[in-house]
Amino acid sequence: MSRLCCDQRECRSRHGVDEINGNIRTDMVCESSFFTNTGFFEKEKAVTSNIQDSRNRTLHLLDITQHETRSLLSRLDPERIVHNDERSWRVRDIIGHLGVWNWEAVRSLRAYSQGGEYTCISSEAKYNEYNGPAADERRTWTMEQVWAEYDAVHAQFRILLQTMPDEKWYGEMVYPWNKRGTVQHLIEIMMTHEKRDHCSIIAKAIA
């Protein structure tokens, strides 16, 4: 007789046979094949490891971006105009702008972690309409207040990334501008917003 997938005395169901009387059973579980042959725990461990690797890379991106943004902008005159579009943006306005949008991302992350959704605008078409009033609100803030907000929101990012449940890491969430994607991709977008859309442009302007 050929050997079954597990010891015959341990096998309680894969073959569905009761060894005592030979009856077909449907309520039995083959413990040995489940835990060894299918590699269940190995697969589970690999998934968990992949999530943790992704989490660590995202946290590293967050830290590097914060360091580079602070290194560049903290040495500039906060009143210096470094960007013009529909309005003139001073260094202090840019820092405030980054804080504003990062907070909106934090609100979306927090809502997602709690099973909900959050948006601040209905679509990307409303982006500029939102930016002006948000910047004006911070025009009278001191630089200490502006930097404090920027640092506080990065701290909140870190907490939310560290505590986001594994089962939600690769899930689909709603972004502040009413688009959908993963947690990791949201952070990548926000950090690209800091580095490419603002800091890189400022670095070229002052070179």
Assess whether pLDDT exceeds 80 at residue 44.
Answer: no
Q: How far apart are CA 115 and CA 110, in angstroms?
A: 9
Query: What's the distance, CA 147 to chain centroid?
Result: 22
* Closest listed residue to residue 124, CA positions, set 194, 183, 178: 178
For 64, 83, 93, 137, 195, the CA distances from 104, given in Å and listed in that order, are 20, 22, 17, 15, 18
Angle at which helix 183-194 crosses helix 91-113, to 10 degrees, equals 180
Give the helix ranges, DSSP H, for the chain.
31-32, 40-73, 91-113, 127-137, 143-163, 166-169, 183-194, 200-206
Between residues 48 and 7, the one the model is more confident about: 48
- Name all domains of the chain by residue range, CATH numbers in brackets: 1-38 (no CATH), 47-206 (1.20.120.450)
Q: How far apart are CA 44 and CA 52, in angstroms?
A: 12
Helix (H, G, I), strand (E, B) or coil at 15: coil
* Closest listed residue to residue 65, CA positions, set 206, 204, 188, 147: 188
Between residues 128 and 26, the one the model is more confident about: 128
Task: Say how many Å lie between the first and final Cα of the chain, rounded.
Answer: 81
| DSSP code string of 26-61 | SS--BHHIIIIIS-HHHHHHHHHHHHHHHHHHHHHH
Assess whether pLDDT exceeds 80 at residue 107.
Answer: yes
| pLDDT tens-digit map of 58-105 | 999 999 999 999 999 999 999 999 988 778 899 999 999 999 999 999
| pLDDT tens-digit map of 121-170 | 999 999 888 988 888 899 889 999 999 999 999 999 999 999 999 999 99
Q: For residues 122 and 178, is the Cβ–Cβ distance under 8 A? A: yes
pLDDT band at 31 (very low <50, low <70, confident <90, very high): very low
Query: What is the per-residue pLDDT for 32?
Result: 42
Q: For residues 95 and 147, is the Cβ–Cβ distance under 8 A? A: yes
Q: How far apart are CA 3 and CA 32, in angstroms?
A: 13
Assess whether pLDDT exceeds 60 at residue 28.
Answer: no
Per cent of the chain over pLDDT 90 is 64
